[in-house]
Amino acid sequence: MTAVRKQNEAAIKERLLLARKAGELSKEIDVDDYTHYLSLLLAGLSIQAANGSSKANLKRTAQMALQHLAY
């Protein structure tokens, strides 16, 4: 499980660095911290899904997270 998490974090960080290079991500945002934040958010959704949370509930939670990320 740790290996999968580390792979996912590496992919998230790579995407964030591309976004920064393209001017889509502010230079003021710490990429390592943002990577960790997004990884925790995704892990939380995974745990909730594994514990039987409904698709509708997970979708509402994801939509809320996107609002707070300003997307």
pTM for this entry: 0.83
Rounded Cα–Cα distance for residues 37 and 39 (Å) = 5
Beta strands in the chain (DSSP E): none
Is residue 71's pLDDT more than 60?
Answer: no
Is residue 2's pLDDT more than 80?
Answer: yes
For residues 5-15, average pLDDT = 95
Is residue 1's pLDDT more than 90?
Answer: no
Is residue 45's pLDDT more than 70?
Answer: yes
Is residue 48's pLDDT more than 70?
Answer: yes
Residues spanned by the domain of 59? 2-68
For all residues of the chain together, what is the average pLDDT?
A: 93
For the chain, what is the domain count? 1
